[in-house]
């Protein structure tokens, strides 16, 4: 009763709800064999599991539009469950190899997926993934360890899980999910970024012992204080209700500055843009006083898509975003696939170090058809309004040259098809020390630069951003990061161009004055954090900010830097 667990709060808020514990991945002995007398019963177990799983598809399908990616995926899975070839193969594995039903399902689905994935065809490889995922659910069904049906929730619920991929997060039906607690997960992991964008209070790397919890027990997730209260006492409930009321009052107070011009005390205008991952985020940013999109993470729109959209479909989606923005800046980043962002529709080869592997622009350049269809769609959209195009993970001028050649090819292709296209501004996301150090050689080819501090920190510190223990020891607000940021800002300004920041550091109000003082021109951050950063911009005087930056850049240690910022933040209050 009344226990407290701690974690890393990744989005503000206090949530009251019931615990729903997501079971960990199923573990079983794949070498188990059965006696001949048990095999008929296993065939029946398998047939029952297929039937029960298929029955659950009806209500699920009813929730999605018939041509939605989710409905397509469910239809395909249903076909497999009812396919004679599939059920025949599992029954044969049971009878000839003497396997228990769940081991037979594991074996057949794995074999089938391996065959598809060996064909070097992205579409078939994706179907292989679908089969594996279906196999997992069948195995759970057989072992009586089904995943809870999140669509059937009727009360406010806080999800407890070990970890969650960005794709799993985007598939969550958020109506009754009021909070998320992961026992793993890093502060700048993409799941954390998605939770923040959705405004769902979340606690990552929580030191929770699952034995402390039962499904349905009362929880209070205080992401502001980075705590999870388990079976809270009436007194704690009252106290946290009061904290929630204060938190909401603060949100209302922040609403008061939403429509003010975003400028420093001495009148320097500071564009405040938002990072978005789907069309709906655009409505949220407009409602939170955002002045446009500083980063559209296009890959987030596709995490759970059953197939990748063609050029025309992409064109329609991006055009819809542009229209919603009604002339405000629209900065689109081309697909940043890889590392912790896997797309259901693509089979990414396993890599020992995915963050150092074929990700970002490397992936796009090595899959020209995919890249070109996105470039053509974006060039066409640029014909209808202001589009800024930026490229992830460019490290050196040779990569930028290759990108520009691809763009030229796409223009030629559109000309041949007699389709109109525009001339988007071109930029890169500086995400590696190499990009910062090579910036001078790339700037002549660019119109703007955006600093991606999430990856820049990861690659400068050699600290995996998804590993929570490392996030605290290697924060983005650190002496080496400040030096690299300053290098980028000065080099870009020397060319007369503007610099934005789209990494999570841009959303940290404690860093706002410092970044302004270092010369940052624009901020782009999660829509849910816009007003807090705006508040800091409004109270900052550029003379103080420049002095602060001078002092901060001289700091050699983390503690020195923190004290330096603490003094000035107090002075600003």
Is 166 an interacting residue with respect to Mg ion (CB under 5 A)?
A: no
- Which burial class, exposed, middle or buried, applies to 134 when counting CB atoms under 10 A from its CB (0-12, 13-18, 19+)? buried
Instruction: List residues bridging with 429 in a β-sheet.
Output: 450
Is 455 an interacting residue with respect to ligand PEP (CB under 6 A)?
A: yes
Contact with ligand PEP (CB under 6 A) among 91, 364, 453, 478: 453
Residues with active-site annotation:
190, 502
Is 290 an interacting residue with respect to Mg ion (CB under 5 A)?
A: no
Contact with ligand PEP (CB under 6 A) among 130, 281, 431, 521: 431
What part of residues 278-317 is at the interface with ligand PEP (CB under 6 A)?
Answer: 295, 297
CB nearer to ligand PEP: give 291 or 455.
455
CB nearer to ligand PEP: give 205 or 334.
334
Cβ contacts of 292 within 8 Å, gap of 6 or more: 271, 273, 274, 285, 325, 328, 329, 330, 331
Contact with ligand PEP (CB under 6 A) among 77, 311, 336, 521: 336
Stretch touching ligand PEP by CB under 6 A, among 8-16, 137-145, 433-441, 451-459: 451-459
Stretch touching ligand PEP by CB under 6 A, among 56-64, 276-284, 301-309, 447-455: 447-455
Stretch touching ligand PEP by CB under 6 A, among 46-54, 172-180, 446-454, 489-497: 446-454
Contact with ligand PEP (CB under 6 A) among 276, 414, 502, 531: 502
Q: What Å distances lie between residue 445 and 258, 329, 398, 425, 499, CA to CA?
A: 36, 20, 12, 10, 15
Q: From its phi and psi, is residue 199 left (phi > 0), alpha (psi between -120 and 50) or beta?
A: left
- Which burial class, exposed, middle or buried, applies to 108 when counting CB atoms under 10 A from its CB (0-12, 13-18, 19+)? buried
What part of residues 436-465 is at the interface with Mg ion (CB under 5 A)?
Answer: 452, 455
Report in angstroms how near the CB of residue 314 gets to Mg ion at its nearest: 21
Is 503 an interacting residue with respect to ligand PEP (CB under 6 A)?
A: yes
Long-range contacts of 542-545 (CB under 8 A, 24+ apart): 542/264, 542/266, 542/268, 542/516, 542/517, 543/266, 544/513, 544/517, 544/568, 544/571, 544/572, 545/264, 545/513, 545/514, 545/516, 545/517
Contact with ligand PEP (CB under 6 A) among 135, 186, 201, 452: 452
CB nearer to Mg ion: give 170 or 264.
170
Stretch touching Mg ion by CB under 5 A, among 176-184, 232-240, 423-431, 470-478: 423-431
Report in angstroms how near the CB of residue 392 gets to ligand PEP at its nearest: 7
| Mutual angle of helices 234-255 and 530-539, in 10-degree steps | 60
Report in angstroms how near the CB of residue 440 gets to ligand PEP at its nearest: 21
DSSP label of 516: H
Please, what sign has the CA dihedral across residues 72, 77, 78, 80?
Answer: positive
CB nearer to ligand PEP: give 455 or 532.
455
Residue numbers of the site for ligand PEP (CB under 6 A)? 295, 297, 336, 431, 452-455, 502-503
């Amino acid at each position: 009763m009344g226990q407290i667990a701690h974690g890393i709060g990744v989005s503000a808020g206090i949530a009251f709800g019931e615990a729903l514990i997501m079971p960990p991945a199923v573990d079983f002995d794949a070498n188990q064999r059965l006696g001949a007398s048990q095999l008929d019963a296993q065939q029946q177990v398998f047939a029952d599991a297929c039937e029960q799983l298929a029955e659950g598809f009806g209500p699920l399908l009813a929730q999605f539009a018939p041509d939605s990616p989710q409905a397509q995926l469910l239809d395909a899975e249903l076909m497999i469950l009812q396919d004679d070839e599939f059920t025949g193969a599992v029954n044969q594995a049971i009878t000839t190899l003497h396997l228990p039903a769940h081991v037979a399902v594991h074996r057949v689905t794995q074999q089938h997926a391996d065959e598809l994935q060996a064909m070097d065809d992205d579409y078939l490889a994706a179907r292989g993934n679908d089969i594996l995922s279906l196999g997992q659910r069948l195995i759970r069904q057989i072992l009586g360890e089904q995943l809870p049906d999140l669509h059937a929730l009727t009360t406010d619920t806080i999800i407890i899980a070990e970890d969650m991929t960005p794709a799993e997060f985007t598939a969550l039906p958020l109506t009754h999910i009021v909070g998320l607690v992961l026992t793993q997960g890093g502060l700048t992991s993409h799941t954390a970024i998605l939770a923040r964008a959705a405004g769902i209070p979340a606690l990552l790397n929580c030191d929770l012992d699952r034995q402390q919890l039962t499904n349905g027990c009362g929880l209070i997730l205080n992401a502001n204080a980075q705590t999870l209260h388990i079976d809270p006492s009436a007194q704690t409930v009252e106290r946290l209700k009061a904290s929630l009321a204060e938190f909401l009052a603060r949100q209302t107070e922040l609403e008061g500055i939403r429509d003010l011009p975003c400028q420093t005390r001495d009148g320097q205008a500071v564009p405040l843009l938002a990072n978005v991952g789907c069309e709906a985020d655009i409505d949220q940013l407009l409602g939170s006083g955002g002045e446009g999109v500083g980063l559209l993470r296009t890959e987030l729109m596709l995490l759970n898509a059953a197939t990748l959209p063609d050029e025309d479909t992409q064109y329609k989606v991006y055009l819809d975003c542009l229209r919603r923005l009604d002339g405000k800046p629209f900065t689109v980043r081309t697909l940043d696939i890889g590392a912790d962002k896997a797309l259901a529709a693509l089979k990414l080869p396993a890599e020992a170090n995915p963050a150092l592997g074929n990700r970002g622009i490397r992936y796009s350049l090595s899959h020209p058809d995919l890249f070109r269809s996105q470039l053509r769609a974006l060039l066409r959209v640029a014909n209808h309004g202001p589009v800024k195009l930026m490229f992830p993970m460019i490290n050196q001028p040779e990569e930028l040259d290759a990108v520009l050649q691809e763009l030229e090819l796409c223009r030629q292709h559109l000309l041949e098809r007699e389709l109109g296209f525009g001339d988007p501004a071109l930029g890169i996301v500086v995400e590696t020390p190499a990009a910062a150090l090579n910036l001078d050689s790339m700037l002549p080819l660019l119109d703007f630069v955006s600093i991606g501090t999430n990856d820049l920190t990861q690659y400068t510190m050699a600290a995996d951003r998804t590993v929570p223990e490392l996030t605290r020891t290697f924060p983005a607000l650190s002496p080496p990061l400040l030096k690299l940021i300053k290098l980028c800002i000065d080099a870009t300004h020397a060319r007369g161009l503007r610099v934005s920041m789209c990494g999570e550091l841009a959303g940290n109000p404690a860093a706002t004055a410092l970044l302004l003082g270092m010369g940052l021109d624009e901020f782009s951050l999660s829509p849910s954090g816009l007003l807090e950063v705006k508040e800091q911009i409004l109270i900052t005087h550029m003379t103080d900010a420049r002095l602060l930056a001078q002092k901060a850049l001289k700091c050699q240690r983390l503690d020195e830097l923190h004290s330096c910022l603490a003094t000035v933040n107090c002075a600003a209050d």
